[in-house]
Structure 1
Amino acid sequence: MIFGLSACAVGSFDDGLLGAVVGNSGSVSDNPSPIRAMKEDRSDYPTLGLVPPRPTGLSTEAQRQVKMDKLAGDRATSRRRKAETEAIPMPTPLEVPAKPNLKPGKS
């Protein structure tokens, strides 16, 4: 148990549990960066070098506020039109005709 806790305090488990307990740190890099290169050449995973640049065509706060005000106006207009449409009186439906008294064989 003590060896396991000391292995956690020393560093990482790059060499596995046995290597961390024994103290074998041969594969740990001496680079100052905390991000180490992958041991294998894996082209299916992106690297930090492939991060795209920041977008440049962002809108300003004033432009976004103008668009939000326009959307709020459109919403108010839509609600007003809905209320006007629902206020139109609907015609009363025709009465259902009586069931015909049909008898087979007689006309």
Structure 2
Amino acid sequence: MRTQYHAYCEASGKIGIGVTVPEGCVAIAKGPYRALYEEVEMKARHGYSLGVLLVPGVPEATSLDSAIAAVVGFVAWARNDREPSIWRCPGDIQAELNQLVSQEASS
């Protein structure tokens, strides 16, 4: 069986890919490494530094709500294209992000 990797979004909007999702990050897609990387690289915004992939709108977000809306909107847009099975459901991401915000607020 092939190892499943996760593409995840950090609070800064930077996208990472790994076998696990770091604490404080939210998974946005999953699949075999090569297919996942190619799909994410094709749809993500490319940063100024070589190899840096970003969720469009998150680095420029002026509030937490607008950053969450950018992540959810990006995944909804990406999911509507070629490979919907790789991308998570935007509603699930919205719920997970809201839960992360609640945990941060209570700590």
Greater relative contact order, per chain length (Cα 8 Å cut-off, separation 6+) = 2
**TM class by smaller structure:** under 0.3
Normalising by structure 2, we get a TM-score of: 0.20
Larger Rg: 1
- Which structure has greater strand proportion? 2
Normalising by structure 1, we get a TM-score of: 0.20
